[in-house]
Amino acid sequence: MCENCGCDNKGIPLLGDPFPEMKVLTTDGEIILPDHFKGKWFVLFSHPGDFTPVCTTEFVAFQKRIEKFKELNCELIGLSVDQVFSHIKWTEWIKEKLGVEITFPIIADTGMVSSKLGLIHPGKGTNTVRAVFVVDDKSVIRIILYYPQELGRNIDEIIRIVKGMQISDKNGVAMPANWPDNELIKDEVIIPPAKTVNVAKERLEKAKAGEFKCFDWWLCHKKLK
């Protein structure tokens, strides 16, 4: 049992699991996840609490990049264990004092969502951690990020994650470290390693023919067309 919220804690779902179905109360009213975003990617991110400094900077950063998410067919939804009126007053303050209007919904969690997703910070009462769930257009959890309260998220990295996963899905490729600015292959992508001896030999032949480049048969890369 979750010591403070009185609900079963089943831990964080695994990558590749369907996002659990749940009815949630938000600043946009009651919605059902993941059906509310059917056919779209979405990023659900939790924050420790309203009217806190790091969380405020994160919400401004998310909002200022919302069009970049939408270009990727991706929506945003926030969450904390605060009531709806608190979310509303906080976003009103952000608009009045910082000139940024928060347009994505924020879940007012009673502990149910945090229990299902494993978001309650150990040793921090009922506060939620800075978690990020990236869910694809088939409602499958693709990425989970988990931060301490002390470290604000890099929102550009979350955009990179969504874009990279979509390119990987579409083209059957992998993304190198620091893509699209990798130290070895710049903005090119990695061809998955060969699984048979024959395919390994074919890789080197194709590289000689100029179809792609290889450091060796197990490390081949190409530029996306």
Q: Which of the following is catalytic: 2, 5, 7, 55?
A: 55
- From the list 38, 40, 22, the residue with the least C-alpha distance to 109 is 22
CA distance to 10, 147, 192, 214, 218, per residue, from 209 (Å): 52, 46, 19, 11, 17
pLDDT of the residue at 2: 41
pTM (2 d.p.)? 0.90
Q: Which two tokens stand for residue 157?
A: 């990295």
Query: What does pLDDT average to over the chain?
Result: 91
Confirm or deny that 203 is annotated as ligand binding: no
Q: What's the pLDDT score for residue 225?
A: 81
55: annotated active-site residue: yes
Q: What kind of fold does domain 22-153 have according to CATH?
A: Glutaredoxin (3.40.30)
Euclidean distance between CA atoms 112 and 92, whole angstroms:
26
One of 3.30.2350.10, 2.30.130.10, 3.30.110.40, 3.30.1020.10 is the CATH number of 172-225, namely 3.30.1020.10
> Domain extents for the chain?
22-153, 172-225
Tell the burial category of 78 from Cβ atoms under 10 Å away from its Cβ (0-12, 13-18, 19+): buried
In tens, the pLDDT along 91-150 reads: 999 999 999 999 999 999 988 898 889 887 666 666 788 999 999 999 999 999 999 888
More confidently predicted of 125 and 80: 80
Asked whether residue 3 carries a pLDDT value surpassing 60, the answer given is no
DSSP lists the bridge partners of residue 174 as: 190
By CB neighbour count within 10 A (0-12 exposed, 13-18 middle, 19+ buried), where does 13 fall?
A: middle
Secondary structure (H, E, C), 154-190: CHHHHHHHHHHHHHHHHHCCECCCCCCCECCCECCEE
Q: What is the mean pLDDT of residues 145-169?
A: 95
pLDDT tens-digit readout, 42-74: 999 999 999 999 999 999 999 999 999 999 999
Ranges of beta strands (E only) in 17-96 are: 22-26, 29-33, 41-46, 74-80
**Element (H or E) spanning 214, and its range?**
strand 213-216
